[in-house]
Structure formats: C-alpha cells, structure tokens
Amino acid sequence: MKYLSALSTALGLSTAGEVCGLASPLDLQAGRMSTGTRPFRASAAIKVGTITPGQVRARCTRLLPDVYLPAGEEPTALDRAHAAWLWTKRAGVVAGWSAAAVHGARWVPEDAEGEVVVTGKARAQRGLTAWRWNLDATEVTDVNGMVVTTTLRTAHDLARRLPLVEAVAVIDELCWMSCAEPEAVLRHAELHPGGRGVVRLRRAVALADTGSESPWETRARLAVVLAGLPRPETQIEVFDEDGRFVARVDFGWRPWKVAVEYDGAHHRGSAQFARDLRRHNRLVAAGWTVIRVTATDVIHPKEFLALVARALTRAGARW
C-alpha cells in the first residue's frame, strides 16, 4: 500500500484508484465499474495493480494510445482534453477547444477533439491535434492540476482560426470569464508577431462585447451590427419614471428605448413564460419597444432585423 500511495502522489492523485479513474480493486473483482469515471493511462493503472490488461481490453474504450475511458461512457470535450494531456504524460499544455473546456466555457463543441501544445516530435493521432507553439510563461496556467493556456491566450488561438461570428462569441465568453477587455487578447498577437489569422483576430476583437451572456446573444447582436444598424449597448438596466428597477435587457439602444431579447430553450416552460410576459409588460409600460428573438430568428435574421430597423426609425434614430 505504501508503494501505491507513493506512486499515486507522484502522479498527482490522492488515491491509487484515481490513477485510472476506476473503481477500487475489490469493485473490479466483483465486476463493477464506478460511475462518473474519467480518462486514465492504462500503463500507470496496470503498474499499480488497479486494473489488469485484460480488464482494460474488455471494459474500456481507447481514446488515444495508452489512454482509455470506461466502456459505455460517451467522451465529452472535457474528457478529450484530459485524455490529450495524459497522452503527453502530463508534459504538454492543453490548448484550443480543449483549454476552453477545462476553463469551463459553455459553448465548446462536444465533438471537439483534444488539443495540446507539445515540444519535440509527436506522431499524428486520430482525434488529437498536437501544436508546436512557443508559449510565453504568462500564457499558461494551472487548472485542477492540468497545465493549460490562459483564457486570453485560448481566445487568441481560437479566434484566429474560427469564422468571424464564432470568433467573436469565443472572445466574448473567455474575456467575460477572465474579467478582461477584448483588447487584452491582442497582447498575445504582439508577443508572437507574424502569426496567421491576426487580421481576423483584430476584426473579431473590434466586434466583441463581454456583456453578451451567451453565444446566441452574441450572434443576435452581430446580426444587427453587420447589417449596418447602430451598435447596441449590452445588458441595459431599465428603470421606470419613479426610479424603480424594471429589468435588464440583453441589448438595445437606450436613447430610443428599443431592446432585443434572446429567448433560449429555458424560456419555453410555462412558469418562465409567465415571468417573461410580466417582465415584457413592465418594459412596455416603461416606454420600451421589445423585440424578442429565437435561434431561428438569428439564423434567418431578415425579419427581425427589419423589425429592429423599423422600431429605431420610429423612435427617431438616424444612421
């Protein structure tokens, strides 16, 4: 047991069982797998006696060489990030979508493959992207024992390669998480002059607004801006004529009292619908025009953009 404890400590784990993320040896002997388990390095788990090679083959799914997940569990983007880091034997730096997942970003594609920064040569692996970047010491951080690119470096890396709208959504989210202004992302471009995608990055930064609280809010706002309408203000607090708080709207134009609200799936329940209706009526009573949009409206924005333009014009806006 002292040997298992020492090796677990060396691997940064509290118990030997956590080396592989599986159940205890007694559970394995009884044919049980623990719930909520995560990727593990088979060689490390076998070495400490937590699992046998036969059990790995029979009860686990291979994600990467020597990295497995218990069979029957669908890997998430966070699982693939962890697997990629384990594949480097904890020597790499988690990056890209994987870093976003580790930081807790809400919009990471579930099918995003693992991404890591490595030094030296690395064989190509299916389901993994290994980058060879020179990272400054200020561009990496520790999250739950994993070395990852910082939120701002992650935003820099993703925004340089994503389509404009997605790039802006990435910057909005990661800058909001780090309490930083979007312009801070450009510092990383200055650290590494000559990198690809810098023009795209600068445009995305110029359009970013950390007031957006979801990727769909960002998409709705960008539809408005890219259509040539006045740039809106995000998260506007509305008060009635007596100074009492009415609501905070997703984005809008304070001088003309026009607001746009994005209604996601959570707005469809009967209780939430009733609250939304009361809130809408209070905004109207305060003199505001409120245009509510859904994902479908954002994907096909022609009609909702016409409504916004008409409301602004009626309120006296000129652009």
Residue 286 lies in a domain: yes
pLDDT in tens, 230-278: 999 999 999 999 999 999 999 999 999 999 999 976 556 567 778 888 9
Question: If you average pLDDT over residues 85-108, what whole number do you get?
Answer: 95
196 shares its domain with 229: no
- Confidence check: pLDDT of 12 > 90: no
What is the sign, positive or negative, of the torsion defined by CA atoms of 116, 108, 208, 146?
negative
Residue 98 lies in a domain: no
Point out which residues pair with 30 in neighbouring strands: none
Minimum mean pLDDT range among 40-44, 111-115, 204-208, 264-268: 264-268
Residue 143 lies in a domain: no
- Check residue 271 and give its pLDDT: 74
Q: Which residue, of 181, 207, 233, is where some domain finishes?
A: 207
pLDDT in tens, 110-128: 899 999 999 877 777 999 9
219 shares its domain with 302: yes
Q: What is the token pair recorded at 269?
A: 């329940």
Residue 8 lies in a domain: yes
203 shares its domain with 227: no
How many CA atoms does the CB half-sphere of 3 hold within 13 Å?
Answer: 5
For tokens 């569990």, name the residue: 73
Residue 279, domain CATH: 3.40.960.10
- Check residue 268 and give its pLDDT: 62
Residue 123 lies in a domain: no
2 shares its domain with 34: yes
Length, in residues, of the chain: 319
184 shares its domain with 250: no
Q: Which residue, of 11, 46, 73, is where some domain finishes?
A: 73
Question: What contacts 209, CB < 8 A, 6 or more positions away?
Answer: 172, 182, 218, 221, 234
Residue 94 lies in a domain: no
3 shares its domain with 22: yes
Residue 139 lies in a domain: no
Q: Which domain holds residue 249?
A: 215-314
- Check residue 194 and give its pLDDT: 86
- Convert 150-167 to b/e letters by CB count within 10 Å (16 or more is b): bbbbbbbbbbbebeebbb
Point out which residues pair with 143 in neighbouring strands: 146
- Check residue 266 and give its pLDDT: 58
Contact between 185 and 201 under an 8 Å Cβ cutoff? The reply is: yes
Point out which residues pair with 255 in neighbouring strands: none
- Check residue 267 and give its pLDDT: 52
Question: What contacts 260, CB < 8 A, 6 or more positions away?
Answer: 220, 221, 224, 232, 249, 250, 251, 252, 290, 291, 292, 293, 304, 308
Count structural domains, the chain. 3
- Check residue 269 and give its pLDDT: 58
223 shares its domain with 303: yes
Q: Which residue, of 187, 207, 227, is where some domain finishes?
A: 207
Provide the percentage of residues in the chain whose pLDDT is more than 70: 87
Question: If you average pLDDT over residues 183-200, what whole number do you get?
Answer: 93
Residue 101 lies in a domain: no
Question: What contacts 154, CB < 8 A, 6 or more positions away?
Answer: 95, 96, 99, 100, 103, 148, 174
For tokens 């088979």, name the residue: 42
229 shares its domain with 198: no
Query: What is the C-alpha separation between 206 and 167, in angstroms, rounded?
Result: 11
- Confidence check: pLDDT of 28 > 80: no
Query: What is the C-alpha separation between 148 and 130, in angstroms, rounded?
Result: 13
- Check residue 36 and give its pLDDT: 37
